[in-house]
Each structure stands twice: as structure tokens, then as C-alpha cells.
A = this chain, B = another copy of it.
Amino acid sequence: MAGARALQKEKTRQAIIDAALMHLSADHSFASLSLREVAREAGIAPTSFYRHFNDMEELGLTLVDESGLTLRELMRKARQRIEKNGSVINTSVETFMEFVERNPNIFRLLLRERSGTSVKFREAVAREVNHFKDELTEYLMAESDYSQEFAYTLAEGLVTLVFNAGAEALDLNPIEREKLKERTILQLRFITFGAAGVKEKA
């Protein structure tokens, strides 16, 4: 057997995860999402939830992990594009914004739940964001000859700017979103250019 039992279980587990992500929106954070709401949306009895997760927190951590996977996939895609295309900044922002547009709820989860959640949850989110900072730090060190510390500071600034732009883009119409994108690209130019300049003088 392929485990018809286990298969069905995995299916409802996904239904729960999907239901939770589905219910995220600007006015409905994960923190304000109830177990019963999720169960209702997933089409199971409230008590059946416990066959899959001990807790809403456990579900939350799972969501963050899943989102992280999607994000890293995005990064890989961006890197490929850069190799073919050239412009690092433009391509990165472009890819990022595309992702935000396609997976707004994942983004809400990773960028807007800065309070009202458990310590573990916030730590998990921070870990995902740090992946970004770390990978970018390495990239910068390989590209230029910045010290680890210097590169990290720059990477942190870049990630902060891009992620924040992403968070803001969530509520904007396409026109304003485009403007935001252009401003963000310019800001990234400023900070990379500035870093190169400051480093030179030292």
C-alpha cells in the first residue's frame, strides 16, 4: 500500500495550512486567527485540529517554515536571472516584488506579525529573514572585498529596505506599487554606492 491512511492525513494537514494562509489579510493577522476559524475553513471539526498540531503556535511555526521554503526558491530563481541578465539590484527587486504580488499572505506572515505572536514564532520569522541577510553578505563579500562585518551591515540595510518595500506594497494599487519599486531601486543604489565610497576612504 501507499498508505491510504497517511495520505489522507497529509491531505487534511495541507487543508489546515491552506485555510490558515487563506485567512490572513490586512485586518486579520495570524495572531488574531482562532483555531476554530481554521478548522471551519479546512472543513474539519475543531477538535480534529489536534490530530495534526498541538497548538496554533505549532501551526504558525509550520507556516513560517513553509514560507521560508518558498522564499528560498525565489532567491534561487533571482540568482539565475542575475547570471543571465546582469543588473543585480533591478533583478532582485523585480523578483521580490513579483513574489509579493503572487504570495501576499506568506509575506504578511513574515513581515507583519512583529507583535502579538509567541516568542518562538517571532524567532522563527527572524531566522528566515536572517537567511536572506547571511546569503547576501556572502554574495557581497565574494563580489567586492568587504570585510565580513562591513558586508553584513550593508546586507542588513539592503534587506531592510527591500522587505519593508514589500510589506508596504501589499496595500498599494499597481501604479503606486510601481513608483514604490522605483524609489526602492534608487535607495538600493544609494546604499551600495555609498558603501563602496565609505569603504574607499577608510
Question: Which residue numbers of A lie inside 8 Å of B, CB to CB?
Answer: 24-29, 31-32, 108, 111-119, 122, 152-154, 156-157, 160-161, 164, 167, 171, 183, 186-187, 189-195, 197-198
Contacts and interface: CB of A to CB of B under 8 A. Distances in A.
- The A interface is mostly helix, strand or loop, or mixed, namely helix
A118 B27 contact: yes
A194 B183 contact: no
A154 B27 contact: no
Interface centre among A112, A154, A183, A194 (most CB of B within 10 A): A194
A166 to B, nearest CB: 12
Nearest to A165: B160
A129 to B, nearest CB: 10
Given A153-B183, A193-B197, 5 more contacts: A27-B117, A32-B32, A112-B114, A112-B115, A154-B187
Contacts of A112: 114-116
Given A111-B114, A115-B113, A116-B116, A157 B187 contact: yes
How many copies of this chain does the complex contain? Answer: 2
A154 B122 CA distance: 30
A104 to B, nearest CB: 11
Contacts of A171: 122
Contacts of A154: 187, 190
12 contacts: A26-B115, A29-B116, A31-B31, A111-B114, A112-B116, A114-B167, A153-B187, A157-B161, A191-B191, A193-B197, A194-B194, A194-B197
Contacts of A31: 29, 31-32, 116
Contact of A119 (B26, B108, B152, B156): B26
B108 A115 contact: yes
A27 B119 contact: yes
Contacts of A24: 115
A187 B191 contact: yes
